[in-house]
Amino acid sequence: MTAPERPTTATLLWTAAILAGILGLRLVLLGWGFLVDGFLVPPGGDPAVHLELVERLRANGVLAVTNYPPLFHLASWGVSALLGLTSLEAVTALGLLAALAPIIGVYLLTRAWFGVLASWFAAGLVGLASVSLVTGYADGNYPNLIGSGLLAPLVFAATLAALRHRPWLGATGIVGSLAILALTHHLSLVVTLIVLAVGIGILALTQAAELRHLASVGQFLAVAFLVAAGLAWLYYGPAVLLPALASLTAGAGSFLGPAWSQPLPLGDYAETIGPTVWTLGIAGLALILTGRVPGRAAEQLFLVSWIITLFLLSRIEGFLPGRLARELAIPLSVAGGAFLAWLVALGRTRLRQLVIGGLAAAVVVLATVMLTTSPFELPYGFRNLVWFNSSGFAAARAMQALPPESRIVLTPSSPYYQALLGDRVAGVPTLTDVNTQARLGQYLADTGATHIFYGQLPAGQSTLDTYPFFADHEAIRQSLSAIGGVNRIAGFADGSQLFVIDRAQLGL
């Protein structure tokens, strides 16, 4: 395959229409809860963490957050200030857009490597049939969706373009994309660098004669590695990278629960990624390995190494293997798009190609996650994953109205309280902190608590292994309620209650 052909006007119009359809349908499905069910916050727990970081940036400036890559939160802060939105509205809007990023990334990469028809199918696979994309949004993994779904494909596309015929332009794209990636998501950066190193190493051993700019691009790659690693280290290395490395070397999964640290059973990959993406991606991989897909060997070899590297990483205990298994949806969608384009090309006449292409498109559309297949199939959607409601906002407003010097101890009921209350939160105790009267008294004394809030668990939250934030919720609530010297000052529709502590009576 030569360099991508110059698109005709008809091709551009078809591309715009297809991408608009994929992006629009996915956006409506993800936003269904806001449009129909009256959601006030996005699904999952991570959006509350993102909100807390944005509020910290708003209050204390650009360097206030050093425990997470800052770019998504800086963008949310900027959008909030520019458009007059609340921080929550900005995080919600950018979160929805982040979920669309893999569609664009997969389209651009597949267009460059396998042509326009393959790119249409690949964008449809990742945008409609991928469970990974929907699960990532449901968990609130917005920076990860941008990093692995958009920026990593741009890095790989720029790398292959630089190796072949655009060394300076491609190298600029590599350095820029990796620098942005370093400030967007740490896991995506690490995985991208590993895939890049493996892929370039394999190409250097097998395709050096074809890739005439390998030596010069290798120097740019070294610079890009240093720039990305330097940015990551300066901003969040001590707080994020060092603890993760120490955890991995100390013992697999030592800082993660079993739901995150154990590799998936092999039989669960299809369900995790999306059965259609998995099946067509594996078919495309097999087709490439047997040499039946027309195109350049270097791009195909890099794609194969990308898939295999991600799969092997997803088998490492303690290295977020489940998350890495989900990320296989990106390269498998590319391979699946190449397979469907090859299938269409088998038609010897234009009519046969249109029929095959229409049937292939129907297969992709009929596999649309949330619309025709689970998980999160509508109309129920994300209802069990919404961790805050109108009663929670009423409670938060009541606590915000307390005197500024108030310090509130919270039961582990929703991370949105911490995000919305900021420095008013004295702490969220573990069961060990409060499982005896002596420890409870000491905890209240140490935190300077003036109030206790007994919150309720969000609807449907029973998966404590997956979300350990809620662990021991009822036991902690009972321990806190056993203390004397507190007076109820407010109750809320969901059964939550706010108490003021009589510190003098308790001898605090």
For β-strands 425-427 and 486-491, DSSP reports them as: unpaired
Residue 191, pLDDT score: 94
The DSSP line for 294-318 is -S-HHHHHHHHHHHHHHHHHTTSTT
The closest of 300, 362, 357, 359 to 331, measured between CA atoms, is 300
The percent helix, strand, coil of the chain (3-state, each to 5) is 70, 5, 25
Please, is 285 exposed, middle or buried when counting C-beta atoms within 10 Å of its C-beta (0-12, 13-18, 19+)?
buried
State residue 2's pLDDT score.
Answer: 44
**159 vs 168: CA distance, rounded Å:** 11
Q: Which regions in the chain score pLDDT beneath 50? A: 1-3, 252-255
For residues 55 and 91, what is the distance between their CA atoms, to the nearest angstrom?
Answer: 11
Q: Token digits for 3?
A: 């360099």
Whole-number Å distance between alpha carbons of 359 and 363: 6
What is the structure's pLDDT at 25? 98
pLDDT value of residue 251: 52
- pLDDT number for residue 506: 75
For residue range 45-94, list pLDDT tens digits in order. 899 999 999 998 888 877 666 778 989 999 999 999 999 999 999 999 99
User: What residues have CB less than 8 Å from 457, skipping those under 6 apart?
Assistant: 413, 470, 473
Work out the burial of residue 394: count CB atoms within 10 Å of its CB; fewer than 13 is exposed, 13-18 middle, 19 or more buried: middle
Residue 313 to residues 110, 138, 156, 297, 352: CA-CA distances in angstroms? 23, 23, 18, 24, 41
Positive or negative: CA dihedral 106, 107, 111, 116: positive
DSSP state of 369: B
pLDDT at 56: 86
The mean predicted confidence, pLDDT, of the chain is 89
- pLDDT value, residue 171: 78
Give the pLDDT of residue 463: 58
User: What is the distance between the terminal CA atoms of the chain, rounded to a whole angstrom?
Assistant: 76
Tell me which amino acid residue 464 is. L
Taking the C-alpha atoms of residue 274 and residue 336, their distance in angstroms, rounded to an integer, is 12
